Amino acid sequence: MSGAYAPGRHLVESEISQELNVSRSPVRMALKRLTQESLVTTESNRGSFVAQWTRNDINEVFDLRQMLEARAAFLAAQSATPEEIARLQALVEEMAGFAERRAEGYRDDLHHNNQAFHLLIVSAARSPRLFQFVQTLTDTSLTLGTYFYYSNEDIARSVQFHQDLANAIATRNSSAAESLMSAHLCLAHMAFEASRFNAESETA
């Protein structure tokens, strides 16, 4: 997701195990799981390779996320519990702290925080099928790793969107929550596509 391993790169177990200072067994297990999640492709007699996502792949996933998660935000504003609302606010505060301190590995922290925030909203929608659709979509997509490509301005905007979303859900404003989520993912799509493909063209 961070781009450390470029699309199409051959992932050699022995090299990765040496790089991470672990045995080959956990590397093999990780590659198997990444293959199941469509982030790695495995070819008979050739090995494993980083999946190559096209613009069409990226566009499709973001379009689907925008539709599904906007609906989830609408429903969450109606059905989120006080505990879920408090957790959303806590995640926003945690995200703001990561963005402000910018400690080593903070983009990875932002990535996990963002994942928890979005899945909590989908869970709060009380729609099991919707949750399953979104979780499957995000688990098999590198678009979840947007924070590895964001500028500081992009990160600040994302923090503000998360705050506004949490407030809309807390005040039971379904229409605002739906619109905010749609706009949030639309801008995330634009920022991700611009930074990712620009970075790839510069290293090509």
Residue 116 within a domain: yes
Residues 122 and 197 placed together within one structural domain of the fold? yes
The answer on 175 and 141 residing in a single domain is: yes
CB burial class (10 A; 0-12, 13-18, 19+) of residue 136?
exposed
Please indicate, yes or no, whether residues 92 and 24 belong to a single structural domain of this protein.
no
Q: Let me know whether 30 and 126 are in one domain.
A: no
CATH number at residue 46: 1.10.10.10
* C-alpha span between 153 and 122 (Å, rounded): 26
Give the model's pLDDT for residue 33.
87
Report strand pairing: 40-43 vs 47-50.
Answer: antiparallel
Q: In percent, how much of the chain has pLDDT > 90?
A: 68
Q: Is residue 136 part of a domain?
A: yes
At position 58, the amino acid (one-letter code) is I
Shared domain check, 116 and 173: yes
CA distances from residue 179 to 18, 66, 73, 185 in whole angstroms, order as listed: 47, 10, 9, 10
The answer to whether the CB of 37 falls within 8 A of the CB of 139 is: yes
Look at residue 187 and tell me whether its pLDDT is greater than 70. yes
- What are the pLDDT digits (tens) for 21-38? 999 999 999 999 888 877
Task: Give the alpha-carbon dihedral of 96, 98, 102, 107, to 10 degrees.
Answer: -110
Lowest mean pLDDT among 53-57, 61-65, 121-125: 53-57
Query: The domain containing residue 156 runs over which residues?
Result: 55-203
**Same domain (yes/no): 106, 40:** no
* Residue 69 covered by a domain: yes
pTM of the full predicted structure?
0.80
The tens digit of pLDDT for each residue in 75-98 reads 999 999 999 999 999 999 999 999
Q: Both 46 and 59 in a single domain?
A: no
83 lies in the same domain as 168:
yes
Distance CA 134, CA 129 (A): 9
- Sheet containing 10-11: order of strands: 10-11, 47-50, 40-43
> In this structure, is residue 1 part of a structural domain?
no
Tell whether 120 is covered by a domain: yes
The per-residue pLDDT for 196 is 67
Q: Which of 58-72, 107-121, 131-145, 182-196 has the lowest mean pLDDT?
A: 131-145
Number of H helices, E strands in the chain: 8, 3
Contact by Cβ (8 Å): 182, 66: yes
**How many domains in the chain?**
2
Region 126-152: what's the mean pLDDT? 85
Residue 29 CA to residue 31 CA, distance in Å, equals 5
Cβ proximity of 139 and 118 under 8 Å:
no
From 73, 76, 151, select the one nearest 110 (Cα to Cα).
Answer: 151
Q: Are residues 44 and 112 in the same domain?
A: no
> Residue 199: pLDDT above 60?
no
Q: Is residue 44 part of a domain?
A: yes
- The pLDDT, as a whole number, for residue 197 is 61
